[in-house]
Amino acid sequence: MSSDLEDSYLLALDEGTTSARAILFNRKSEISGLGQHSFPQIYPRPGWVEHNPEEIWKAQVMAVKDSLKNSHVEPNRVLAIGVTNQRETVVIWDKSTGKPVHNAIVWQCRRTADIVEDLKADYGDLFKAKTGLVPDSYFSGPKVKWLLDNVPGLRDRAFRGEILFGTIDSFLIWKLTGGKTHVIDYSNASRTMMFNIHKMNWDEELLEVLGIPEGILPEPKPSSYIYGYTDSEIFGASVPIAGDIGDQQAALFGQAAFEEGMVKCTYGTGSFLLMNTGSKPYKSERLLTTIAWGIENKVTYALEGSIFITGAAIQWLREALEIIKDASETEILASSVKSSEGVYFVPAFVGLGAPYWDQYARGLIIGLTRGTGKAHLAKATLEAIAYLTRDVLENMKEDTCIRVTELRVDGGASKNDLLMQIQADILGLKIIRPLILETTSLGAAYLAGLAIGFWKNLSDLTSMWKIERIFEPKMDDAERERLYKIWGEAVKRSLGWARILKEAGFE
Ligand code: ADP
């Protein structure tokens, strides 16, 4: 191998929900440099979440500059960029000035609950059949509709072709290319509730239902593809942008889960399970059928279960209850008790996602006695994360009849050894934690590397991927089933609570 290739890097831009990161990978897919900048979360009303797209852009550029500076890599040694992003979040900007017309509406934002109720009632089956998605506030389409309905004059401007819509990847690529390229990859497009996942195009009928003109939408492309080149003013080099993929699909790719039936779970703010289902888009009642990635002419599908709140429940213990100072303390605290002694915590702070899909569910802690302490609550929180994961996995197994033999894990909370052991116990499955937990960035880098021939094929990638630790299940089957059954009862009691509040006149 030439020394030139030795000194070559791929840069992943990982634009997450709370921060933008940039990670440089060398040819062996080891991390060579990292930059990270947070951006503010904006909560205009309860349940509403926004980001300022300009802040995201600034954070992303600073992260890239830091990653290069920290690793002493010259920008011209970066052979390609892969972008991965928080999915579903919507930006609309002015085509000529590039200025966003409104803050980005974030995936977690529930402002479109009423729009979604109507869509679900009138067109639920149509959306499900064409997009693989259960209509929910989570997805981009209703957010775009809300903006067109609520920002004065915006729908007219949309029909006049003066504005552009994008998920954050589209927006970043548009900015990176100096406004030249307006694209989205199939995986991100499949989260918009506007994309036909069987025909691989924007769906006219659904756009009509939503009142969105096709002219504002980005061009759908494979996930590994040279979309354009960075404006050299930005980082000091013109670099091909060659990968684009939603964060969860990126993690599946970064876990080298290339075979049908492989499953990963990312434990972050929320948890996201994806199962590679190969070339088949399995239908599911309670899970989402989604596009994992497109490479050349081949599309790989996935079944997905999104759990809205998991790591955020740990955050809540820290920030709201102040029973821990750091998320990792849950491990020591929860280990100090043998069991949660019948305490169950359903962290349905913003409703429940898969497999329940109840936007009116609210959090509950049940089973409290005079003897309950913070250690029980910490343990119940870790267990809740594990139960929610099992809820999704049970559905995956049922829908596909594919035998699952292991779960690959990543994300911030996967560093918690106790959580991983509890997860192995509750699932009765091997949990595999890889050496590089930055699987999202790794996936984006892999895709960019494939597009430019830095790596040749998927087997090249599989041979680079390394395991750090395996957690084997230790709990006996009867105990596992007993605990899981009670969990179902706790969940039942959390469903529909906000509807009761609403009917009683609460905002
Ligand atoms: P995101 O990408 O969604 O912002 P991360 O992957 O960075 O999330 O993970 C952060 C989340 O993981 C936080 O919600 C935090 O509470 C949780 N977390 C981080 N470390 C631990 C730990 N050691 N134990 C349990 N939870 C953790």
Angle between helix 113-131 and 140-150 (nearest 10): 140
CA dihedral 382, 383, 386, 390 (to 10 degrees): -160
The answer to whether the CB of 311 is under 6 A from ligand 1 is yes
Q: According to the model, what pLDDT value does residue 122 have? A: 94
| Spatial distance between the Cα atoms of 250 and 290, rounded to a whole number of angstroms | 13
| Spatial distance between the Cα atoms of 211 and 226, rounded to a whole number of angstroms | 31
The answer to whether the CB of 416 is under 6 A from ligand 1 is yes
The answer to whether the CB of 413 is under 6 A from ligand 1 is yes
Cα of 484 to ligand 1 centre, how many Å? 24
Q: According to the model, what pLDDT value does residue 14 have? A: 96
The distance of Cα 10 from the centroid of its chain, to the nearest Å, equals 22
pLDDT single digits (tens) 74-88: 999 999 999 999 999
| Spatial distance between the Cα atoms of 448 and 80, rounded to a whole number of angstroms | 6
The answer to whether the CB of 412 is under 6 A from ligand 1 is yes
Residue to probe by mutation, ligand 1, list 19, 271, 314, 328, most atoms within 8 Å of CB: 314
Cα of 272 to ligand 1 centre, how many Å? 13
The answer to whether the CB of 17 is under 6 A from ligand 1 is yes
Cα of 381 to ligand 1 centre, how many Å? 13
Residues of the chain with pLDDT under 50: 1-2
The answer to whether the CB of 16 is under 6 A from ligand 1 is yes
**Helix ranges restricted to H, 214-281:** 232-235, 247-254
3-class secondary structure, 251: helix
The answer to whether the CB of 268 is under 6 A from ligand 1 is yes
Question: From its phi and psi, is residue 452 left (phi > 0), alpha (psi between -120 and 50) or beta?
Answer: alpha
| pTM > 0.85: yes or no | yes
Q: What are phi and psi of 171, to 5 degrees?
A: -60, -45
Cα of 413 to ligand 1 centre, how many Å? 4
Amino acid identity of 350?
A: V
Atom of ligand 1 at shortest distance to CA of 247?
2
Residues linked to residue 150 through DSSP beta bridges, in sequence order: none
Nearest by Cα to 53 from 218, 136, 209, 164: 164
The answer to whether the CB of 314 is under 6 A from ligand 1 is yes
Q: According to the model, what pLDDT value does residue 442 have? A: 96
Q: According to the model, what pLDDT value does residue 6 have? A: 73
Given a contact cutoff of 8 angstroms between Cβ atoms, the answer to whether 174 and 166 are in contact is: yes
Q: What angle do CA 392, 412, 448 make, to 5 degrees?
A: 90
Cα of 438 to ligand 1 centre, how many Å? 13
Question: From its phi and psi, is residue 211 left (phi > 0), alpha (psi between -120 and 50) or beta?
Answer: left
The answer to whether the CB of 65 is under 6 A from ligand 1 is no
Q: According to the model, what pLDDT value does residue 1 have? A: 45
End-to-end Cα separation, the chain, in angstroms: 64
Cα of 59 to ligand 1 centre, how many Å? 20
The residues, any chain, with a CB within 8 Å of residue 458's CB and separated by 6 or more, are 256, 258
Cis peptide before 218 (omega within 30 of 0): no
